[in-house]
Amino acid sequence: MKMLIKPLIIFLAIVVFQPIVPKVQAEELSNHEISESIKFREDFGLEQDPIIIAKKLYESKSLDSKQKFGYVLTVEEKKELDKRFINQKESVPKIQNYLKQIDGNDNIDIYIDQQDRGKIVLRIKDTVNENIVSKIKSDTDILSELPLDIKRVKYTESDLNYLTNEITSEIPFIQKLGIKLNGVYTDIQKGKVVISVQELDEKVRDTITERYNHKALEIVQEEASETFATARENTYIPIQGGILVKNNTSGDRCSTAFTASGGAGYYVVTAAHCGYIGDKFYQGWNELGPVTKGQFEYGVDAMTISITSNEKSNLVYGSTYKLTTQETLAQEVVGQAVCKSGMVTANTCGKLQTKNFTAVYEYATVTNLRRATLYSDNGDSGGTIYSGNKLIGVLSGGSGATYTYYSHIVNVNSALGIKPVLN
């Protein structure tokens, strides 16, 4: 039986391009290379003036930052981010455990404000007793390791998720009104539930706000950008994440996420909208087995393609890391750094925007995805979402340089009955 109908917004690259060079050459950067890094710099609070960037890079350029983060940085900028991410990796779990002991009622949220030096922000509901807030402020042993800010808020993440889920349940009704939706998601940094539409005018705004009269609601217009592709079409044995797989039945091209074991065999994982059960794929000239299982609903856009044992690996193309661990749901923090490897736009990094994104396709709606400020484009579908040596998920779709959404690895493993190869 075939899976769900393929969505309207999918990633398909159809032209052969030259492979990307992973390391930065010694010559001076072009204006394009600087301009394409501005969004990343904005996300992580780095210098954004092109003239100043060019001067600093001329004086001190990190040759491996392109490979690690997807963009060229100065030596000092790379050192600062490396130190920041190590501190966050060590300190955030401690803070999360501490907050669970203080409050077990979902009245306190946490996110990382990467634009402000990686500051940890605690969102405390305005109904929480002030004595608890005072205790948190006084516990410097736990909270002094990173920059910290405390905000009193009206709506917690749970409150916002309730509204997000309510709107998501009515998406078919909204579509019947002629409103073209991209998605709906919770944004705890803004304290908003965001409805993303393809076309926004006064009529659309009035229609939505009349039905959902809520102060936390925000409506935005987001469009897809044009495609810039650099395909990784060579044959790789063993298989790596972030390289091309081609559907031999339809000709569709997508990216690989990771290899995994399950049942009595091994598989490579890509996005479910890239094919149907039984379709055969090629990786370069290497013919892979058929699609054995897939899911395109309930937080998962992923499927398995049969491979042999000598084709499995924990490698990610363009990354200096091997995948040795995977993220748990408890480890997720809005604002954390995430990266992707895809066959079109190579390796780029950004930050997690929301843990509750609903993607709206022409014939399907997929809830409970993640959304990040990653640059991706047609053909990156199915690519690896990772951070350092940690596997995070499978790339599903997005809107060019604006955002990318993905399936979390925990949900993928559960839906497909697999275990990623991590050694």
pLDDT band at 145 (very low <50, low <70, confident <90, very high): low
Tell whether the model's pLDDT for residue 420 goes beyond 70. yes
DSSP secondary structure code for residue 174 in this structure: H
Tell whether the model's pLDDT for residue 305 goes beyond 70. yes
pLDDT, residue 30, reads 65
Sign of CA dihedral 41, 44, 46, 49: positive
pLDDT, residue 25, reads 41
Angle at the Cα of 92 from the Cα atoms of 90 and 98, rounded to 5 degrees: 115
pLDDT, residue 3, reads 42
Mean pLDDT score of the chain, rounded to an integer?
A: 88
DSSP secondary structure code for residue 239 in this structure: -
User: Where do we find the tokens 């930050």?
Assistant: 351
pLDDT band at 64 (very low <50, low <70, confident <90, very high): confident
Q: Can you list the positions of beta strands (E) in 201-264?
A: 217-221, 244-247, 253-255, 258-262
pLDDT band at 103 (very low <50, low <70, confident <90, very high): confident
pLDDT, residue 316, reads 96
Displacement of CA 316 from its chain's centroid (Å): 16
b (16+ CB within 10 A) / e for 218-249: ebeebebeebebbbbbeebebbbbbbbbbbee
Lowest mean pLDDT among 90-94, 146-150, 176-180, 254-258: 146-150
**What's the rounded mean pLDDT across residues 172-201?**
94
Tell whether the model's pLDDT for residue 16 goes beyond 50. no
pLDDT in tens, 231-251: 488 899 999 999 999 999 899
pLDDT, residue 227, reads 39
pLDDT, residue 33, reads 74
The class (CATH top level) of 226-423 is mainly beta
pLDDT, residue 144, reads 67
**What's the rounded mean pLDDT across residues 37-54?**
93
pLDDT, residue 22, reads 35
Q: Which helix (H) or strand (E) holds 411?
A: helix 409-416
Q: How far is CA 284 from CA 86, 164, 246, 263, in A?
A: 37, 41, 8, 26
Q: How far is the C-alpha of 353 from the C-alpha of 395, rounded, in Å?
A: 15
Contact call for residues 117 and 84 (beta carbons, < 8 A): yes
Q: Is the peptide bond before 238 cis (omega within 30 degrees of 0)?
A: yes
Q: Which residue has the higher pLDDT, 363 or 411?
A: 411
pLDDT, residue 351, reads 97
**What's the rounded mean pLDDT across residues 320-325?**
92
pLDDT, residue 23, reads 39
pTM of the complete model: 0.86
Q: How far is the C-alpha of 347 from the C-alpha of 211, rounded, in Å?
A: 41
pLDDT, residue 397, reads 92
pLDDT, residue 58, reads 84
Instruction: Give the closest residue to 152 by CA, choosing from 135, 127, 173, 172.
Output: 127
pLDDT, residue 321, reads 87
**What's the rounded mean pLDDT across residues 34-44?**
90
pLDDT, residue 7, reads 41
Q: What percent of the chain has pLDDT over 90?
A: 67
pLDDT, residue 357, reads 97
Q: What are phi and psi of 77, to 5 degrees?
A: -65, -45
**What's the rounded mean pLDDT across residues 411-419?**
98
pLDDT, residue 191, reads 96
Count Cα atoms within 13 angstroms, Cβ side, for 228: 10
One-letter identity of residue 53: I
Pairing of strands 390-398, 325-326: parallel
Q: How far is CA 114 from CA 87, 105, 287, 336, 352, in A?
A: 13, 26, 43, 8, 10
**What's the rounded mean pLDDT across residues 186-203?**
95
Q: Where are the domains of the chain?
A: 31-79, 157-221, 226-423
pLDDT in tens, 109-134: 999 999 999 999 999 999 999 998 98
Tell whether the model's pLDDT for residue 24 goes beyond 60. no
pLDDT in tens, 334-363: 999 999 999 998 899 999 999 999 999 877
Find all residues with CB under 8 Å of 147, minimum gap 6, and list them: 116, 117, 118, 119, 120
